[in-house]
Amino acid sequence: MNYKIAVTATLVAAAMLTACEEDTGSLGIIDNTDLISTSAEAYNVRSASVLLDSVIANSSKSYLGEIYDGETQTHIRAEFLTQFHTFENYVLPDENLIVKNNSGQIEADSVDVRMYFQSFYGDPTNPMKIQVFELDSTNVLREDQTYYSDINIADYLPQGAQPMATKTFSPMDYTLPEADRTSVDYYYNVRVRLPKEFGTRILNAANTHPEWFANSWQFIHHVCPGLYFKLQSGLGTMLELDVSALNVYFRYRSEQNDTIYPAVARFSATAEVIQSTAISNDNLASLIDPTKPYTYLKSPAGIATELTLPVDEIFAQHSGDSISRARLILTRMNSTAPEDYALAMPQKLLLVRSQELNSFFKNRQVNDNLTSYTTEFDATYNTYTFGNLSRLLSYLHREKQEGMTAKGMTSDQWNAAYPKWNKVTLVPVKVTSVTNQSTGLTEPVSITHDFSVTSTRIVGGSEPISIQVVYSGYK
């Protein structure tokens, strides 16, 4: 049931051209027969929490750790696996120039993997323990497949795999001088030493099979299929990793002066290769309760909010009008968790047709402001606002009308055959934007699921949400 908000007075008139090109005396004269009238109404929108048991894990970041959500009494755990990128036709010094061991063989001085991060949730002194495994070279992650947050990592480990290394650390490295740790140039990182034999294998491969370093595909399939970072312990901390780097250290002799120099062969986890975070959330299903006056937005891979838009009702008495504005405001409920356990709220949301949610991320789309929109959290008003969904409403209405005509369906038959036709989903996302040099406008170039730890409730569920619709039409 809708209710009237306001009906405005007649606003605008159109200027008419005369039929005779030579007679321009009536140009600009207002014709009262073409006056435009506007009206505004509000309609109830139903909302519900929906469980996201898995999402496409194509984030450029990786996550590692486990935290407890005190508001919902749930645990969120993240581990990840990653491949490593090599530059095209990567070349190391000639075998004769690399410093050998006492047996005259090529040998790495050392090898490590470093995980770099700027953001983390939790106590910087909290101890974490991880194990590092090499992935299976006979079952390599494939770039032509889509990987989800519920990935079974065991499928990509060799049978009977044993960890290459174990590391205990805290997010803040207190072995460094305080001046280094507090410097603006300091980049949080965790260093895990790997077996020297692993680095030696890479150096020998570079000399015996340089074609294996021609590109990342060759490197991954013949040299190093990737690494798995398994969380052993560390409840209370979640790292948001920007990049991981595999470093092989060695020495080589200069051809010019026979001087020995230190060197490093570096391979990084970048957007050119696969990084996949495995997420597990316990107890989430118990939070789906339609009797509550709110719905949830939780990441990573947690809970989204689905809205049912009253499209039929919006157009029922306005078949001759057009929608000039449709504004949806979502009010956030403040957290009830103790301060030590309060999670950040999602900063950006995607609104997309529910039936297109998976394909949106699978096809790496960005919002088109027709069937998909983004918005940011407004801390001043504690809200998320979608300023104008008029194009979406008109699109859904036209799709249904044309579909019923083509298929010979009634409205009820259409609703039964396509139950998701007027449903949209709200999900936390990360948006990467660039400035268009021609227009000066900021445009999105990438939208991915938000894998950081966020949680909030928004008014809805058993409480109605209102969408404000402004109509315009000729009177």
pLDDT in tens, the chain (475 residues): 443 333 333 333 333 333 333 444 444 444 544 577 789 999 999 999 999 978 888 777 899 999 988 878 889 999 999 999 999 999 998 889 999 999 999 999 999 999 999 989 988 899 999 999 999 999 999 988 889 999 999 999 999 999 999 999 999 888 888 888 888 888 999 999 999 999 999 999 999 999 999 999 999 999 999 999 999 999 999 999 999 999 999 999 988 878 999 999 999 998 889 999 999 988 888 899 999 999 999 998 899 999 999 999 999 988 778 899 999 999 999 877 666 667 889 999 999 999 999 999 999 999 999 999 999 999 999 999 999 999 999 999 999 999 999 999 999 999 999 999 999 999 999 999 988 888 888 889 999 999 888 999 999 999 989 999 999 877 6
Cβ(45)–Cβ(464) under 8 Å? Answer: yes
Structure tokens at 76: 């969120």
pTM for the whole thing? 0.84
Structure tokens at 41: 């109404």
Cα dihedral 374/378/379/380 (nearest 10): 180
Exposed, middle or buried: residue 272 (CB in 10 Å: 0-12, 13-18, 19+)? Answer: middle
Q: Rounded distance, CA 104 to CA 125, Å?
A: 45
Which positions ≥6 away from 183 have C-beta within 8 Å? none
Q: Rounded distance, CA 369 to CA 353, Å?
A: 11
User: With left for phi above 0 and alpha for psi between -120 and 50, is residue 460 left, alpha or beta?
Assistant: left
Residues in the chain: 475
CA 403 to chain CA centroid, nearest Å: 33
Structure tokens at 55: 């999402």
- Can you give the chain as a three-state secondary structure string? CCEEEEECCCCECCECCCCCCCCCCCCCCECHHHCEEEEEEEEEEEEEEEECCCCECCCCCEEEEEEEECCCCEEEEEEEEECCECCCCCCCCCHHHECECCCCCECCCEEEEEEEEEEEEECCCCCEEEEEEECCCCCCCCCCCCCECCCCHHHHCCCCCCCCEEEEECCCCCCCCHHHHCCCCCCEEEEEEECHHHHHHHHHHHHHCHHHHCCHHHHHHHCCCCEEEEEEECECEEEEEEEEEEEEEEEEECCCCCCEEEEEEEEECCCCCCEEEEEEECCHHHHCCCCCCEEEEEECCCEEEEEECCHHHHHHCCCCCEEEEEEEEEEEECCCCCHHHCCECCCEEEEEEHHHHHHHHHCCCCCCCCCEEEEEEECCCCEEEECCCHHHHHHHHHHHHHHHHHHCCCHHHHHHHCCCCCEEEEEEEEEEEEECCCCCCEEEEEEEECCCCEEEEEECCCCCEEEEEEEEEEC
Q: Where are the domains of the chain?
A: 41-53+285-474, 74-281
Q: Rounded distance, CA 292 to CA 306, Å?
A: 15
Q: Rounded distance, CA 247 to CA 315, Å?
A: 62
Structure tokens at 453: 């730890």
Which positions ≥6 away from 35 have C-beta within 8 Å? 10, 11, 12, 13, 474, 475
Structure tokens at 259: 């001087």
Q: Rounded distance, CA 112 to CA 167, Å?
A: 11
User: With left for phi above 0 and alpha for psi between -120 and 50, is residue 406 left, alpha or beta?
Assistant: alpha
Cα separations in angstroms, 107 against 134, 223, 328: 20, 16, 63
pLDDT score, position 164: 97
Radius of gyration for the alpha carbons in the chain, expressed in angstroms and rounded: 29
Strand partners, 148: 56
Q: Rounded distance, CA 82 to CA 60, Å?
A: 11
